[in-house]
Amino acid sequence: MSEPAPESIPPLTSLTEEESLLRDTVRQFAQQEIGPHVRAMDEAQHLDPGILRQLFELGLMAIEAPLELGGAGSSFFSAVLAVEEISRVDPAVAVIVDVQNTLAVNAFLRWATPEQQRLWLPRLAQQTVCAYALSEAGSGSDAFSLSTQARSEGNNFILNGRKLWISNAMEADLFLVFATINPAAGYRGITAFLVERGTPGFTIGHKEDKMGIRASSTCELLFDDCRVPASNIVGEPGKGYKIAIETLNEGRIGIAAQMLGLAEGAWSLAVKYSKERKQFGKAISEFQAVQFALAEMATQIEAARNLVYNAARMKCAGVPFVKEAAIAKLFASRVAEQVASQAVEIYGGYGFVRDYPMEKFYRDAKIGSIYEGTSNMQLATIGKLILS
């Protein structure tokens, strides 16, 4: 029999007054301010700068950072709620909020020096996007087979290499870059560096033309004798692997929240459409087949919500959550694909054309089983932990 949840973890789907207010505020913002721009941003493959500015103004870009450093002084769970609510309208916009909070700000709070925190956290809260640069051409699921190297030279490190699939690269002014200072040491040589946009030897390369979440930029990063001061190391030299492992474990809850929000958005629109679309003289919502489909979708969403909230509550309570995060991401990404696919079918022919929102939800859903750990990697993690 499993151990009962610690008393410090509230009931999964209940929200505090502060959390409810945040959810309602973000939901209204997403519907009113993001909603009208979703299609245009998707077609242009570009995040509206006005929306990015509003994300900062609403305090959504450093939710966990303390008030004295410009942040919202709130919780990881609140960041997860924000990602979920934005994803109901546009999962692409949610990417920038997710990466900023669950990866970048999280890394600063746990691993940066007090000086680095005082310098950067106010900027991350107010105006600066930070991208997370780990992946490479030969380093995907095998995250630590890095070829990007950093050699020591006086009080500096010289970075050389290439990163791929870096989210938010076009919008970012700061990059958390993982490179090895000792290839012979394997993962124990990996070190995390802060690299600012405009640093000589550092350029933003090719921007990917993606199937989904197209308003979210995904680019390669090129380092050619890029000189970075040793004071820009985050954590300790050779301990970058620990930063990557622990932040990605938390980041997976954010991706699960993104997929949960996507499924909720697709389902709610499918319900609305089913009441409006008439065939054989009545709304298709009156047909049992459609009712059963919507019921199955609602059941999957409710299960995913409990898994996501459970993992987030556990993280906030300071109890082990790695297995629960992997389960949440695995399940929520599957639910997003299934719900989006079924919603397309409920829309019928209209679900297959870009004049209606369903085909975008369907395209956006696929990435959930790929980034921040593929579904197979989540299964491997779950299997290892349940058998340990």
Residues 83 and 162 in one domain: no
Residues 368 and 251 in one domain: yes
Has residue 4 been placed in a domain?
Answer: no
Q: What is the mean pLDDT of residues 121-148?
A: 91
Q: What percent of the chain has pLDDT over 90?
A: 94
- Please say which residue of 128, 148, 179 terminates a domain: 128
Residue 161: which domain range? 132-239
- Please say which residue of 186, 204, 239 terminates a domain: 239
- The mean of the pLDDT values for the chain is 95
Q: What is the mean pLDDT of residues 284-307?
A: 98
Residues 68 and 95 in one domain: yes
Residue 144 has pLDDT above 90, yes or no: no
Please report, for the domain that includes residue 68, its CATH number. 1.10.540.10
Say whether 296 is catalytic: no
Residues 246 and 359 in one domain: yes
Residue 3 has pLDDT above 80, yes or no: no
Has residue 12 been placed in a domain?
Answer: no
Binned at pLDDT 50, 70 and 90, residue 10 comes out as low
Residues 232 and 321 in one domain: no
Residue 7 has pLDDT above 90, yes or no: no
Has residue 235 been placed in a domain?
Answer: yes
- Please say which residue of 220, 239, 258 terminates a domain: 239
Of the residues 64, 85, 337, 372, which is catalytic? Answer: 372
Has residue 7 been placed in a domain?
Answer: no
Residue 314 has pLDDT above 90, yes or no: yes
Question: What confidence score (pLDDT) does residue 321 get?
Answer: 98
Has residue 11 been placed in a domain?
Answer: no
Residues 202 and 217 in one domain: yes
How does pLDDT run across 322-353, given as a tens digit for each residue? 999 999 999 999 999 999 999 999 999 999 99
Binned at pLDDT 50, 70 and 90, residue 245 comes out as very high
Question: What confidence score (pLDDT) does residue 2 get?
Answer: 45
Has residue 278 been placed in a domain?
Answer: yes
With beta carbons less than 8 A apart as the criterion, state whether 258 and 94 touch. Answer: yes
Has residue 10 been placed in a domain?
Answer: no
Binned at pLDDT 50, 70 and 90, residue 9 comes out as low
Residues 278 and 309 in one domain: yes
Has residue 45 been placed in a domain?
Answer: yes
Inter-helix orientation angle 322-347/240-276, to 10°: 30
Question: Looking at the 3D structure of the chain, how many domains does it have?
Answer: 3
How does pLDDT run across 198-212, given as a tens digit for each residue? 999 999 999 999 999
Whole-number Å distance between alpha carbons of 228 and 236:
15
Q: What is the mean pLDDT of residues 72-81?
A: 98
Question: What confidence score (pLDDT) does residue 1 get?
Answer: 40
Residue 88 has pLDDT above 50, yes or no: yes
Residues 190 and 314 in one domain: no
Please report, for the domain that includes residue 338, its CATH number. 1.20.140.10
Binned at pLDDT 50, 70 and 90, residue 5 comes out as very low
